[in-house]
Amino acid sequence: MIKRKYIGDRAFYRRLFAVMIPILIQQLITNFVSLLDNLMVGQVGTEPMSGVAIVNQLLFVFNLCIFGGLAGAGIFTAQFHGKGDAEGERNTVRIKLWFALIAVSVCAAIFLSLRDELISLFLHEGKEKLDLEATLSYGKAYLEVMLIQIAPFALTQVYSSSLRETGETVLPMRAGIAAVLVNLVFNYLLIFGKLGFPALGVIGAAIATVLSRFVECAIILLWTHGHRERNPFVQGLYRSLWVPGRLLKQVLVLGTPLLLNELLWSGGMTMLNQCYSLRGLEVVSAFNISSTIGNLFFCAFIAMGNAISIMIGQILGAGELERAVDEDRKLIAFSLVLSVAVGIMMAFVAPLIPQIYNTTDTVKELAVKLLLVYAAMMPLYSYTNSCYFTLRSGGKTIITFVFDSLFVWVICIPVAFYLSRYTAMPILPMYAIVELLNLVKCVIGFFLVKNRRWVVNLVTDKEKPSLA
């Protein structure tokens, strides 16, 4: 009975892996190259690595803003696809395009006007007496170039998310592989000045990233429009960017909490890192190393989250509500088993990779300890991530907002703020305490999923006239 309840049959896992594996491969390759990128910049020195880390933390807020803003429309894209409604898919993609245009414009304005102030929030002197002015200079130079890539990045996400939601997961993976290879090659050439190229350091790393973003964007756009029969949502996509008011309202009602959630959650993560940075610039460097390595392992849960959102969203759109409940339970169980395996692997490599960086022994030692904490927390991260995407697949975006970002701002940040400013607690126990707060989130997630309010078909036939 338990086996039937929590373990699927072969057909179930074939469907899961067909969705999950291409996303996982793309994420693994992207994050592995990010690790190599980080290692290359780390060879230049601690200050350049810290400057790049700070800017990437700021851009992380923009990236998640894009993901969150597109996710609201994406809920409808997946359910329209499950229903077989190409016109509905097309309209949701148009909404995504409008959002991407607005987000890129606002982001560029903020970063250009508040560049120095934002980077300086993370610059605090620690035991190592690192050069804060040099770090600021490296960060500013890196950010100026990186702003070029936000437009192709946003457009890529519009198309790749729509492709995944309509069942095409392989092409975004292939485009991602090509992009990371371009990034890797030009990182090597431009950071260190190989094969006659100038040695540009952090600026070279930024240029390589910009080139990779344009390559990825070009591949996805050319393939999608070149295979119109397989992607009917692009047929007539740009004849008009008008979208039905009723659908726009529905997307805004569901999507605004998702956007706010990603924006506030990523801002919350940035705020937590700012609290940790009060212990010194060496802490910024250690977190940069540990998070870059940790993200490589967290790819499994990013892929699982996407798989849950896509699979459950399509089943709900097809009106098979009980099947959605059954398969979601099995997906969560699989994610938990996967988290244990990933945590063990992460603990095994934690003492090894930080030693490759050209930085101080203090930074390396702290990075190893942070990674071990991260590995121990893997089951908590996995369960909360699965609950979040389950709730999101059924359009319960206000609940996900409370569950995710409100939790960070109301619980985690006040604890980190107090410990960092009003106690002398070392960074490691401070970080462990904040992360253990996820236990509370697991309990909340369990009851939110169990009450089944997320089991909703958002695109029923009775709504069709209002969406046409």
Q: Can you tell me the distance from the alpha carbon of 178 to that of 168, in angstroms, rounded to the nearest whole number? A: 17
Q: What are phi and psi of 425, to 5 degrees?
A: -60, 130
Asked if the model's pLDDT at residue 262 lies above 80, the reply is no
pLDDT in tens, 137-153: 888 999 999 999 999 99
Q: Residue 323: name the closest of 58, 46, 82 by CA.
A: 82
The tokens of 421 are what?
């400013």
The tokens of 447 are what?
């009851």
Please report, rounded to a whole number, the percentage of residues in the chain having pLDDT higher than 90: 28
Which of the two residues, 241 and 435, has the higher pLDDT score? 435
Work out the pLDDT band at 461, boundaries 50, 70, 90.
very low
Asked if the model's pLDDT at residue 210 lies above 70, the reply is yes
Q: What angle do CA 269, 148, 35 make, to 5 degrees?
A: 50
pLDDT for the residue 299: 85
pLDDT for the residue 465: 32
pLDDT for the residue 33: 64
Which 8-state DSSP code applies to residue 468?
-
pLDDT in tens, 331-389: 999 999 999 999 999 999 889 888 888 778 888 899 999 999 999 999 999 999 898 88
Q: Can you tell me the distance from the alpha carbon of 413 to that of 102, in angstroms, rounded to the nearest whole number? A: 29
Mean pLDDT of 69-95: 81
CA distances from 297 to 147, 340, 346, 436 (A): 27, 11, 7, 19
Asked if the model's pLDDT at residue 464 lies above 60, the reply is no
Q: Can you tell me the distance from the alpha carbon of 418 to that of 434, in angstroms, rounded to the nearest whole number? A: 11
Which of the two residues, 386 and 4, has the higher pLDDT score? 386
Q: Can you tell me the distance from the alpha carbon of 39 to that of 32, in angstroms, rounded to the nearest whole number? A: 10
Of these ranges, 128-132, 319-323, 421-425, the one predicted with the greatest mean pLDDT is 421-425
Mean pLDDT of 255-260: 77
The tokens of 62 are what?
């923009």
pLDDT for the residue 127: 62
- 193-197, 396-400, 437-441, range with the lowest pLDDT: 396-400
Q: Can you tell me the distance from the alpha carbon of 302 to that of 293, in angstroms, rounded to the nearest whole number? A: 15
Q: Can you tell me the distance from the alpha carbon of 59 to that of 324, in angstroms, rounded to the nearest whole number? A: 35
Q: Can you tell me the distance from the alpha carbon of 32 to that of 38, in angstroms, rounded to the nearest whole number? A: 10
Neighbours of 317 (CB within 10 A): 26
Q: Can you tell me the distance from the alpha carbon of 322 to that of 102, in angstroms, rounded to the nearest whole number? A: 39
Work out the pLDDT band at 467, boundaries 50, 70, 90.
very low
Which of the two residues, 283 and 123, has the higher pLDDT score? 283
HSE-up of residue 300 (Cα within 13 Å, Cβ side): 21
Q: Residue 19: name the closest of 309, 220, 227 by CA.
A: 309
CB 330 within 8 A of CB 7: yes
The tokens of 179 are what?
């992009």
pLDDT for the residue 5: 80
pLDDT for the residue 462: 40
Question: Rounded mean pLDDT of the chain?
Answer: 85
